[in-house]
Amino acid sequence: MTHAFPVYRGSMQYRCLGCEAVYSIEELHYTCPECGGVFLLEDTSFERLTETPGEMWRDVFDARAAAKRASIRGIFRFYELMAPVLEEEDVVYLGEGSTPVIEANDALAQRIGRRFAFKNDGQNPSASFKDRGMACAFSYLKRLVRENDWDQVLTVCASTGDTSAAAALYAAYVGAPLTSVVILPQGKVTPQQLAQPLGSGATVLEVPGVFDDCMKVVEHLAEHYRVALLNSKNAWRILGQESYAFEVAQWHDWKVGDLAVFVPIGNAGNITAIMSGFLKMHKLGIINDLPRFVGVQSHHADPVYRYYKEKDPTARKYEPVAVTPSVAQAAMIGNPVSFPRVKHFADQVVAIGGDDKFAVVQVSEQEIIESMLLANRHGHIADTQGGECLAGLQKAIEAGVVGEDEFAVLDATAHALKFIGFQEMYFENSFPAEYGITPKKDLSNAPRLLIDPSRKDALAPQDYYLEAATAAAELLGLEAKID
């Protein structure tokens, strides 16, 4: 059965989180022209959606989960909650979303002391969750192109690696009139992440410095030139990333009161989107409770942690930090653009669910990398940011932040292979001193050479295999079969 494309159309506008001014979505806006604040997108007809009971929404989304129609197969399965101003022809679908939730096996769950799962957002097309936001942002761009008959649109973004990989991929797929430029901190993205936009044919510009420097360059471009900015200032990306929340709720059969959702915080767009998504479902009665939200930051890039460390809300003070190198490199951001959005939604979460429904924990570099290695030794494909979440879960358990009966969902935001160089540094004990990581023998691994290469020429093939096999048997301590 093919499911129809949704008929509901909302009426969306940008709302500034600083001064509350609203702006039409017929133009691209990133920050408020009045006060410089960041935007959220809101559907002014949202109230109409509340006329449909939560149970019916659950049925609609469950039915669509079986749809074979590309336009509602990905993040737009939740069309009405997402960007209900797009037409079907606008929707770009590259297989993003519906990522698997993989529960930790007994051995790992026992070791950690809690049942938990990774949601593998590394199984998105460009191997990170950024595809969720790009699918939405590019669908909106297609709408703008269609309505304005534009013949040229240059998309730009600054990136810690994954935003650019995703932007370049979607731009390559959509094609003319869109072209892609990505701006990266030189030497601060992994070789895999650099290869991705290059392979997608994007123009790749490197800036010596860190992500925060690249962001300044991109902001200048967006302010003074005609370009489409694809950083998470772009509120369409936040919308698309809300799909993660919808999927988590759907996977748990819309019962989320006993879930603790762990998210690594970099520029803070992802945790913003995830909280926003759950709050929307709550408003519509699709879920009756909120999960607990736990943001995780490395001690090398922890401005959000520092802010919330102060328990008295009136005494909290936001200050950017200077970052030091982190294995959670995609989250190595000292001045998160979406910080005001985090505050906005965390306040709402706390107002509904109480003070302890939102927390931010801090973890060390050593804990991040070792949690990743531990997870992957138990069959996961967590990246370093996924490792950061598992380290965060351990911290939260120690601190009594998550209850005994809670089930933790950890965001493995990218595929392990994107950050595999950090595993290599650990195994080879080659971390530069500033990471502060000392590898442990029992977590390391290295290939072992079975037989000297010179033996290949020296021996006849049969003898060569025999010698190699004998060496293997010896090394593994194998017992011979008795015949």
Ligand X SMILES: *Cc1c(COP(=O)(O)O)cnc(C)c1O
Residue in 6, 74, 84, 266 binding ligand X, rule: CB under 6 A: 266
Apex CA 206: angle with CA 214 and CA 429, to 5°? Answer: 95
Q: How far is the CB of 222 from Zn ion (least distance, A)?
A: 16
Q: How far is the CB of 345 from Zn ion (least distance, A)?
A: 18
Burial group, residue 321, by CB count within 10 angstroms (0-12, 13-18, 19+): middle
189 binds Zn ion (CB under 5 A): no
Q: How far is the CB of 229 from ligand X (least distance, A)?
A: 15
The region of 9-17, 167-175, 261-269, 465-473 touching ligand X under the rule CB under 6 A is 261-269
Which one of ligand X, Zn ion, none interacts with residue 260, CB within 5 to 8 A by kind? none
β strands within 128-278, DSSP E: 153-158, 178-185, 203-207, 228-229, 259-264
Which one of Zn ion, ligand X, none interacts with residue 267, CB within 5 to 8 A by kind? ligand X
List binders of ligand X among 187-246 (CB under 6 A).
232
Which one of ligand X, Zn ion, none interacts with residue 413, CB within 5 to 8 A by kind? ligand X
Which one of Zn ion, ligand X, none interacts with residue 35, CB within 5 to 8 A by kind? Zn ion
Which one of ligand X, Zn ion, none interacts with residue 247, CB within 5 to 8 A by kind? none
Residue in 99, 155, 267, 297 binding ligand X, rule: CB under 6 A: 267
303 binds ligand X (CB under 6 A): no
- Residue positions counted in the chain: 483
**Gyration radius (Cα) of the chain, Å:** 24
Instruction: Compute the Cα dihedral for 371, 375, 378, 382 and give only its sign.
Output: negative
- With left for phi above 0 and alpha for psi between -120 and 50, is residue 370 left, alpha or beta? alpha
Which one of ligand X, Zn ion, none interacts with residue 18, CB within 5 to 8 A by kind? Zn ion
List binders of ligand X among 99-138 (CB under 6 A).
128, 130
Apex CA 169: angle with CA 163 and CA 171, to 5°? Answer: 100
Torsion angles phi and psi, residue 12, rounded to 5: -100, 150
Query: Which residue's CB is nearer to ligand X, number 168 or number 286?
Result: 168
What is the end-to-end Cα distance of the chain in Å, rounded? Answer: 59
Q: Which two tokens stand for residue 46?
A: 């949202």
Q: How far is the CB of 320 from Zn ion (least distance, A)?
A: 20
State the DSSP H helix or E strand holding residue 271, giving kind and residue range, or none if neither: helix 269-283
CB 84 within 8 A of CB 44: no
CB 396 within 8 A of CB 402: yes
330 binds ligand X (CB under 6 A): yes
Q: How far is the CB of 38 from Zn ion (least distance, A)?
A: 9
- Is the peptide bond preceding residue 177 cis, with omega within 30 degrees of 0? yes
264 binds ligand X (CB under 6 A): yes
Spatial separation of the C-alpha atoms in residues 34 and 29, rounded to whole Å: 12
The region of 26-34, 94-102, 259-267, 441-449 touching ligand X under the rule CB under 6 A is 259-267
Q: Which two tokens stand for residue 54?
A: 């939560």
Q: How far is the CB of 411 from ligand X (least distance, A)?
A: 8
List binders of Zn ion among 15-44 (CB under 5 A).
16, 18-19, 21, 32, 34-35, 37
Closest by Cα among 380, 445, 440, 475 to 117:
380
Question: Would you give the DSSP letter of residue 478?
Answer: P
Instruction: Show the site string, 377-406: x = touches ligand X by CB under 6 A, - = not.
Output: ------x-x---------------------
CB 134 within 8 A of CB 170: yes
Which one of ligand X, Zn ion, none interacts with residue 265, CB within 5 to 8 A by kind? ligand X
Q: What is residue 365's three-state secondary structure?
A: helix
Q: How far is the CB of 23 from Zn ion (least distance, A)?
A: 9
The region of 10-18, 106-114, 264-272, 395-403 touching ligand X under the rule CB under 6 A is 264-272
Residue in 145, 167, 256, 331 binding ligand X, rule: CB under 6 A: 331
Burial group, residue 59, by CB count within 10 angstroms (0-12, 13-18, 19+): exposed
Which one of Zn ion, ligand X, none interacts with residue 331, CB within 5 to 8 A by kind? ligand X
Which spans of this chain sit near Zn ion (rule: CB under 5 A)?
A: 16, 18-19, 21, 32, 34-35, 37
Task: Tell me which residues touch ligand X (CB under 6 A).
Answer: 128, 130, 160, 162, 232, 264-270, 330-331, 383, 385, 413-414
